Structure formats: C-alpha cells, structure tokens
Amino acid sequence: MEQIQFLFIFSFTIICLSSPIIRAIPSDPRRLVLNLTHRDSIHSAYHNRSEDFTTRLKRTMQIRRTLSTTDIEADLVPSNSLFLVNFSIGQPPIPQLAIMDTGSSLLWVQCQPCRRCSNQYSPIYDSRSSSTYKVLPCTSEDCISSKRPNTSCTSSDPCSYRQKYRRGVGSKGNLAKEQLSFRTSDDGLIVLHDVIFGCGSNNGDLQRSNRLMSGVFGLGYLRTSLATRLAKFSYCIGGNVSDPSYIYNKLVLGDGAGVEGDSTRLEVIDGDYHVLLEGISVGEEKPPINPNIFRRTGRDSGVVIDSGSVSTWMVKEGYDALFNKVQSLLNPWLTQSSIQLDPDLDLVAVCYNGTINQDLEGFPTVTFHFVGEAELVLDTSSLFAQIEPDRFCLAVLPIDGNQTIIGLMAQQNYNVAYDINEKKLSFLRIDCQLLED
C-alpha cells in the first residue's frame, strides 16, 4: 500500500517536472517578435530625402496591391510597400531588408552570382560562400509544389522560379533552402533552418534597369511558403501609418503570434486572405449598403484583408454610401476640396479643408462589422489622412470591379493575427507599444 502510494507520488512528480520540458521540445520557445522598419524612416535605405511630406503621403495613400494572384505570379507593387523586415540569411549571416507582403508567397533576396542586383538597399548574399545553403532539385516535391510543374527539367537542374509583380517588376533565379536569423525586438536571436527562398539573380524592373529591389518577405499562403510553415503570424501597426518615426510597429511569426481578441473566419483563396464583411456603421447609423456587394461571387470579388495596401479600396456602391454619410456630416461645416492622387490613374481623393485634430472633434467612429464578433473601429485618424497642414482626405477610395481591399490605415492600432490552420483572423485593439516582446 505504502509502496503504491509512493509510486503514485513519484510518477506524479515526473509528470510535473517533465511537462515544461516536453512543451519546450517542438522548437525554440521564445517568441519571434520583430520590429518592422518603416520604408520612409531615416534608417531605411528606401528613404527619399528630397520627397516632401505631401508627395509622400499622396504616394502612400495610393499604395495598393492589385488583384489576382496565381501563386508564382502575384500582382502587386512591392517597391511601393510600406514596411520592411530586417533579417539575415546564410552562414555567415548576411543582413537583408525585405519588403513585407501578405499579397505574395515567395520570400526572395538578391543572390550572387547575379545578373542584375544592387547593393543600394542591402548587401548581396552569395550562396557560394554560405555553409547552410542547400540546392532544391527541380524534381523535388518542394520544387514541384512551389510552382507550376516544369516538365522539361531533370534532377540535376536547379528549381528555377520567376516571380512577377506589377509594372514589369520581378525576380528570377532558383529556389533553394537557407537558414534565416532574426534579431528579435528584445534583442534575442532566433534561427529558422531550411527555409525555402528565392535566390534572385535578376531582380527589380526586368525591362528597365533603373528600378531596383532588395527582396520581398512574402507572407502569402502557398504549400511551401514561410507563412504556411509557421501557420500563424500577426502584426501591429500603430501611431499612424504615415508616421515613419513611430518605432513600435511589430511583426510576430509563428506560435508566439498574439491570437487574441474577437475573430472572424479567414479563408485563403488564390493565395489571398479573404474575410466576410457584413456591414458598416457610422456612429449608431448604418448607411444603406446591400451586404451582397461584399460577397464573393467569383474571381476577384469579396473582401481581402491586406498589409500591402494603405487606404481601404471599396466597391463603388459601398463607397458611395459611406461617402454620402461622411459628406452629410462634414459639408455644412467644412469646405470640400478634392485632390488628384494620380493623374495617370484618374484617382481622386475626397478632401476637406481643416485639420483632423481640431475640426473632427465629435465625429462618429466608423465600424466595419465582420461575420462573428470581430469588428474594426476606425476613429478619425484611421479614416482620414492629414495630407497638408490644412487639408485632410478620406482614406477610403472607390475601386473598379467587385473586390474590396481593407488596407493598413483601417487596421491601425489593432493587433491583427492570422491563424492559417484554424482559419481565424483576430483583431485586438491595442496600443502597439504595450504589446509584449
């Protein structure tokens, strides 16, 4: 009897002692929390000293990835994206500054031997001098599921890729495996082994040589992509997106992603992250919007949540209803003075004379309601952008076609978490500065 009791206590102790160790086994238990670098911050190689604030904000408001992604041919304007991820590749580690993009799936860097590369933004990694570089044969499972099958290749061929973005920009080279190391925001170091990446030997504008890129940190979904391997990621963009001096913008990769707050169903369609938007309210009122305009009815429709767009781009009928409501609240008091964001695209933003801080006191919040409990509440600094000292503009723009894109301004001051396996997107309203490292 005594012995049995002893055994029981003994085994109980083992379980207690061993469970934390067991939990630590799967991988490094520390969280992979990264500081994001703002493209226009003075620490960023993309910073353009001669660009004034208004020009920059006009450019920023237009940032939008375009529709239609069929894995390897994602269609966006990466050189105009807003946030950069700082990491190192290979052994010895070579630091890289790559564009964060949930709209494409490939992570690529400039790679020697190189036909078109530039060290303007990051040093160029050389696969030949890295001890952790691994070739991905053309016939390997990972190569085949990373791209359209290339029937004419043999196991001695490398796994070639060609990533195209909008306006002739892209990257060509070979897919391979490498080790990535990340300096976490609390100054730790986390290493991910054997990450499939594009070793890009011909990068930037593939027609003209004047536009260069240092690399893209694709967070889109594809069987072999990093996001799929990590299953979860989250980001928190705070302050206001046009403020390059705000230092608390964060990206969390993997299990440490803060999947908290109310959630809604997340669906990956053609590599895009889709959500179901049920309606929009302005204060207590709901402008008359038929929720069917946000439904998915075929290709390039529905509502996409995006980190590569800044403004929110809304289908015409939804935009008109929202705009009419805003106008009825502001027109009696403020002068409307719209501006052309891009003459080539005939893109006009609705603006008002005044300042967000002084003239919009008491303006109601605008709420995007999603299926489930999740919502995004936009206060005036998420809905409007102060483009000039005495003029601010609506950061919701009309889009041709049937697809609504929720941009980063609407996601400001939220921790946005993508749980790919659970098909859940969560929003937690928070001051990004308060997020734990």
The neighbouring-strand residues paired with 191 are 181
Distances (CA, A) of 128 to 33, 169, 295: 30, 26, 49
Taking the complex as a whole, how short is the minimal distance between the CB of residue 430 and ligand NAG, in angstroms?
Answer: 15
In the complex with ligand NAG, the residue whose CB is nearer, 43 or 193, is 43
Please, what's the b/e burial string for 29-66 (b: 16 or more CB within 10 A of its CB; e: otherwise)?
Answer: eebbbbbbbbbbbeebebeeeeeeeeebbbbbbbbbbb
The answer to whether the peptide bond before residue 95 is cis (omega within 30 degrees of 0) is: no
For ligand NAG, the closer CB: 185 or 224: 185
Site for ligand NAG in 334-363 (CB under 6 A): 335, 337, 353, 356
Q: Does 115 bind ligand NAG (CB under 6 A)?
A: no
Which of 234, 195, 208 shows the shortest CA–CA distance to 100? 234
Nearer to ligand NAG (CB atom), residue 13 or residue 55: 55
Considering only the stretches 112-120, 259-267, 342-350, 385-393, report the one whose residues sit in contact with ligand NAG under the rule CB under 6 A. Answer: 385-393
**Is 68 or 112 the residue whose CB approaches ligand NAG more closely?**
68
Q: How far is the CB of 178 from ligand NAG (least distance, A)?
A: 17
Q: Across the beta sheet with 312-315, what order do the strands follow?
A: 267-269, 272-275, 301-305, 402-406, 312-315, 396-399
Q: Between residue 175 and residue 194, which ones bind ligand NAG under the rule CB under 6 A?
A: 183, 185, 187
Q: Which residues contact 276 (CB under 8 A, 6 or more apart)?
A: 264, 265, 294, 295, 302, 303, 370, 371
401 binds ligand NAG (CB under 6 A): yes
Q: Based on the shown chain and the rule CB under 6 A, indicate whether residue 297 belongs to the binding site for ligand NAG.
A: yes
- Asked if residue 260 binds ligand NAG (CB under 6 A), the reply is no
* Residue 70: C-alpha distances to residues 76, 227, 228, 328, 343 (Å): 12, 16, 16, 41, 29
Q: Does 73 bind ligand NAG (CB under 6 A)?
A: no
Does residue 51 belong to the site contacting ligand NAG (CB under 6 A)? yes
- Positions touching ligand NAG (CB under 6 A) are 35, 37, 43-44, 48, 50-51, 55, 86, 95, 97, 138, 150, 152-153, 157, 160, 183, 185, 187, 240, 242-243, 245, 247, 297, 300, 335, 337, 353, 356, 381, 386, 388, 390-391, 401-402
